[in-house]
Every structure is written in structure tokens, then in C-alpha cells.
Amino acid sequence: MNRAALDALNSLPERVRFTKGLYAWTGFHQATVEYDRPSRAAGNTKWNAWKLWNFALDGFTSFSTLPLRIWSYLGFAVAVLGFLYAAFLIVRTLFWGVDVPGYASMMVVMLVLGGLILISLGVSGEYIGRIFEETKGRPLYIVRDTVGFEAHETAGRADAAR
């Protein structure tokens, strides 16, 4: 890793760093080095399936708000299914009568309200996801090189010293 990439990584104010993702996020040129890893000479790995699962979740939640967005989609689907089932129950009750008293109204209320609750949870999650992205404080972009700004930098430093 060169000095510019290291400086960019060190300038990020995040406390919980998923470095595997941050290396790619900085956008610097990358190269692959192929090698054959020899077998472990001594000891055992400390990475079990649970730790690997948690590591994968850290990576997924550090760079995506998709887990929060899923609840919006799931809530919308449940609400639509609730409304469709409500229409089916109303038609069935009107034409064939009531099988079990209170079943239709209870199911419609539970499905529709459950869907609406999931939608509101998803909308709240969207806002929380945006807050999460903002609190990380990552810059919008990283400048690799500047040309012609050296004179301005030295003048700025001289003004700041006064």
C-alpha cells in the first residue's frame, strides 16, 4: 500500500473500520499478487464459523443500507397481500356466508396493520441508514493529485501563520 492510500485511510474518522471494504472504497489502483499459501505450521485458527459470519455481517452493514430497506419491501408486500386477502374474504363472505365468526375481520386487521407497521419500520430504517452514512464522516471523494495549487497552499499557510 502506498503512502497516499494509507493517508486516505488514516484520514477517515470512523471508529469501527471494516478495512477490507475501505481498501476498495478509497478507489486507489489495486494489483493482485497470486501466491500459494503453505499449510499452517503450528496452532489452530481462531476464526470459527460464527466469527466469520459476524465478519461478513460487519462488511455488509458497513457499506450497505439494504438490510434496512428490505423491511420496506417486505412491509409493502405484506400490506398488499393483506389487502388482497381482505378483498377475497369480503367477496367470499358476501357470496358464501361466514365460516367462523370474526375470522375475516381479525385476519384483515392483522395482515393490513402488520404490513403497515413493517412499512413504517422500513421508512424509519431508511432515515436511520442515512443518519448512519452521515455520521461516518467519509469524504465525498478523495483527491489523488493536485496541479497548480502549490502557490495557493503556501500563501494559505502564510496567512494562517499571521
pLDDT at 153: 57
Q: Which residue has the cell 461478513?
A: 56
pLDDT at 121: 83
Q: Do residues 87 and 111 touch, judged by C-beta distance below 8 A?
A: no
What helix, strand, coil percent values describe the chain, rounded to 5? 65, 0, 35
pLDDT at 108: 79
Q: Which residue has the cell 503450528?
A: 42
| pTM of the entire predicted model | 0.56
pLDDT digits (tens), the chain, 162 positions? 788 888 888 887 777 777 777 877 787 888 888 999 888 888 888 889 999 898 888 888 777 778 778 877 888 888 888 888 888 887 887 888 777 788 877 887 888 888 888 888 888 888 888 887 788 777 777 777 778 777 555 544 444 444
Rounded Cα distance between 66 and 133, Å, is 13
pLDDT at 34: 92
